[in-house]
């Protein structure tokens, strides 16, 4: 898998995932469904690869500019 999630994008995904987990944990009512997007965001941040980005052709990683 080629990385397509950059560092800033990864940090935003981690933060949003943590917020969703906290809301699901302390929320009054049926907020447990927020764990699904939290897990997806955490996974994509941890692996630096997003299937949706791959499908639509987005890449937020820095391009390698080294000429070999």
- Tell me the pLDDT tens digit for each residue of 25-51: 998 889 999 999 999 999 999 999 999
Give the pLDDT confidence score for residue 1 in this predicted structure: 79
Residue 62 has what DSSP assignment? P
The torsion angles phi and psi of 18, rounded to 5 degrees, stand at -65, -45
Measured between alpha carbons, how far is 11 from 1 in angstroms, rounded to an integer? Answer: 20
Q: Is the pTM of this model over 0.75?
A: yes
In the numeric block, the tokens 């997007």 are attached to: 37
């Amino acid at each position: 898998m080629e990385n397509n999630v950059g560092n800033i994008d990864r940090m935003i995904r981690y933060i949003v995932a943590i917020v969703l987990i906290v809301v699901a944990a302390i929320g009054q009512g049926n907020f447990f469904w927020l764990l699904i997007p939290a897990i997806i965001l955490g996974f994509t941040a941890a692996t630096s690869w997003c299937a949706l980005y791959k499908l639509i052709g987005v890449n937020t990683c820095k391009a390698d500019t080294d000429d070999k």
